[in-house]
Structure 1
């Protein structure tokens, strides 16, 4: 059995979660227009404020933080010494973001149904997928297939050759939080059902890891544990295995 431990509360719509090299947790405070840093004891401090509707967040190996501004359609970079820069603009309600296997930034363009790859060196954008329905989360498998969560209820695998497989039959409304666990296992927030679920891409078997999470949105996987952000009560939980 698994149990939920409350790590921090008082957030305003926690939407994305990421960790730096030292284990500090960073949470995008969607309705608070800020990014909050949380230490291992649950102490919170504002890491950055003034970003409109921050949604997705990732941190690279040099502890550079990347955040998508859902309302203002840009990607913000924050360096370890606090320098900030809008490194890419012109998106369409960018929501969840993730690193690709080759180090590009994958961005979900919710309102235009696209997955965009941003080369962080050249700042060139490439559209990897179109025709999706409200994509809000993306992750990549070892074989370079994309798994995209969509508020429409779809969970779609897009292979490198463009072939698509729908995996969302047992999901209500897949949310922003989606992470790759292994070569064929992906964990997804089921926002509509208030659950965290795992799906085996090969067998399509779905396993519920946690439930009764009203407004579950954010999901991270760090050191073999899941971290969940819930809009319903503004809390961050850690999922522990007994």
Structure 2
């Protein structure tokens, strides 16, 4: 399985993702520059965290117009796997590949800390190694992670099981105290209706090795690989 990690001016987690995929999980992986116009030959694209284009206007707003994005959108609409992490999630929202919007954290502070997440949907290419309701521990680092969607959009997300992760406490309880940024419904990650595009604010690449304090993030990347290998065995 071949991964492409898209690098925008201001990306700062691209090397972490590359290391997790290439060195920890042993997968072929390349960097793709924001100025590229093709993503041909890749099985999964990752938009990493950082501050693309300095987060001018708002996070992800300028990156959405990068030369590579039409190819990313076409890839996603054709069923290709796309993972947006933190700033990558913000870019996917701005590009219309995921519904909703991102606001400044309600505390008006940048939050860099470990968080607990409850897995709401384990039947996705990104979460098949987890159990539904499982509590995992993945760190965050963002100033604009306050996910928002209107009532109609939230109802659709719930009905279609598109909410993949929610912030919770260590016991799996979804409470206001467990919400680090004010995100509506404690939402930490969502998937598109087709199930091939995931956006999440927490950073799985920062907990892919025990030396980093946890390995729950590794299981997310391994889920992608398992899903792909299963698909290949079936000749899909």
User: What is the TM-score normalised by the length of structure 2?
Assistant: 0.30
More strand by share: 1
More helix by share: 2
Q: Which one scores higher on RCO, CA 8 angstroms, separation ≥ 6?
A: 2
